């Protein structure tokens, strides 16, 4: 789905998104962390179809099958998994990215 507010990207950058992503996993020479927000598409579809009758029985709540949420890809150092302490740091940083997104773009 296309972004409805083209200013969101600039607002996220100005709010410190890149720094927040770096706290999840600092970029290396070969890898940049990737963060993707995956909204539930049904809210946007309902907005587009405002005034169009929706058949009875069509659920209006959050999707139970759509992959909705926050996806973060980071570089894995060698064959080792992060230590529990590092994983906790990464998780806290990922929550920070999600909170930043919520502040800048509520309901996205």
Residues 35, 50: Cα–Cα separation, whole Å: 31
pTM (two decimals): 0.60
pLDDT given for residue 5 in this prediction? 65
Q: What is the CA radius of gyration of the chain?
A: 17
Mean pLDDT by runs of 10 across the 108 residues of the chain is 65 86 77 73 71 70 64 76 87 88 76
Return the pLDDT at 85: 92
Q: Would you state the pLDDT for residue 68?
A: 67
């Amino acid at each position: 789905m296309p972004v409805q507010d083209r200013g969101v990207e600039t607002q996220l950058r100005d709010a410190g998104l890149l720094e927040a992503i770096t706290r999840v996993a600092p970029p290396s020479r070969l890898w940049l962390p990737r963060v993707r927000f995956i909204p539930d598409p049904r809210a946007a579809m309902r907005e587009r179809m405002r005034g169009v009758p929706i058949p009875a029985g069509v659920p209006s709540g959050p999707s139970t099958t759509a992959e909705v949420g926050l996806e973060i890809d980071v570089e894995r150092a060698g064959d080792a998994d992060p230590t529990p302490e590092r994983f906790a740091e990464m998780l806290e940083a990922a929550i920070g990215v999600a909170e930043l997104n919520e502040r800048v773009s509520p309901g996205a």
